[in-house]
Amino acid sequence: MEKLKPTLKNMTLVLVGVAVVVGFILAYVNHVTEGPIAEKAKATLAQGIKDVMKVDGIQVTKEDTVKTNVDGKDLTYIVHETSDKSGKPVGAAVESTTTGFGGDLKVLVGFDHDGKITGYTILESSETPGLGAKAEKWFQSTADGGKGGKSCVIGLSPKDGELKVSKDGGQVDAITASTITSRAFLKAINEAYAAYCKQNTDGTSGASKQENKKG
């Protein structure tokens, strides 16, 4: 068989052929992995909702997409309304994404009907592994082991005022040497709360349609 001459045309044909084959391979790999990745993300979210709401037998009763405009940017939040095993509404878990030191920071925040934070978990983080791990734990309890630190956000409510780090005149101690990440985390919580309020009919607190029906 005669060897193809290394002309521009022949080299172009070879490159196109390689590109087509690689394209098919990538499409196949994407098709094979797409399902498992989606299932894993779904399971992670479901477990996250249980963790942040801290209610036995938690159930998601409704999911709402809330769009807001923050600093000139159109942002989208997912609000997961929840109830306990008896069917009583207990608040909502909100997916909120903001930009940290190393990139996007996606947080799931739980709020009760009074707008108080019941818990949080970090779903995705482009921060360095060390910063991401610190943020996951830092704001769950006092940074100094309960000796007067103010790093814990559990039980606080943005309804009482926007959460800020101490350096900015707020009430929350930032992660040591990581003020930017701390600001981003609190911004995600504040925006999650704003989305939660917008999703509810009274627009002022975590108290929603259930309270309005009582009135």
Q: Can you tell me the distance from the alpha carbon of 135 to that of 7, in angstroms, rounded to the nearest whole number?
A: 57
Nearest to 141 by CA among 153, 131, 129, 132: 153
> pLDDT per position in the chain (215 positions), as tens?
455 566 777 778 888 888 888 888 888 777 777 777 778 878 889 999 999 999 989 999 999 999 887 777 788 999 999 999 999 999 999 999 888 777 788 999 999 989 999 999 999 887 666 676 788 889 987 554 444 468 899 999 999 999 999 999 999 999 888 888 899 999 999 999 999 998 874 343 344 443 333 33
DSSP string, 46-106: HHHHHHHH--TT-EEEEEEEEEEEETTEEEEEEEEEEE-TTS-EEEEEEEEEEE-SSSEEE
Backbone angles phi, psi at 169, to 5 degrees: 85, 15
Measured from the Cβ of residue 191, the count of other Cβ atoms closer than 10 Å reads: 21
Nearest to 98 by CA among 121, 131, 66, 76: 76
The CA-to-CA distance between both ends of the chain, in Å, stands at 88
Overall domain count for the chain: 1
Q: Name the residue with tokens 């790999």.
A: 29
Q: Report residue 80 as tokens.
A: 């997961």
- Structural domain boundaries, residue 130: 48-206
What pLDDT sits at residue 127? 67
Angle, nearest 10°, between helix axes 179-199 and 129-138?
50
Tell me, yes or no, whether 198 lies in a domain: yes
Tell me, yes or no, whether 2 lies in a domain: no
What pLDDT sits at residue 204? 37
Contact between 154 and 140 (Cβ < 8 Å): yes
Quick one: DSSP state of residue 173? P
Tell me, yes or no, whether 42 lies in a domain: no
What pLDDT sits at residue 43? 86
What pLDDT sits at residue 207? 40
Nearest to 109 by CA among 92, 124, 134, 88: 92
Tell me, yes or no, whether 213 lies in a domain: no
Q: Report residue 10 as tokens.
A: 């022949």
What pLDDT sits at residue 40? 82
Paired strand residues for 19: none
What pLDDT sits at residue 10? 74
Using CA of residue 62, residue 65, residue 69, residue 72, what is the dihedral sign? Answer: positive
What pLDDT sits at residue 168? 95
3-state secondary structure of 8: helix
Tell me, yes or no, whether 185 lies in a domain: yes
Tell me, yes or no, whether 26 lies in a domain: no
Contact between 126 and 100 (Cβ < 8 Å): yes
Tell me, yes or no, whether 188 lies in a domain: yes
Tell me, yes or no, whether 214 lies in a domain: no
Q: Checking phi first, is residue 91 left (phi over 0); if not, alpha (psi -120 to 50) or beta?
A: left
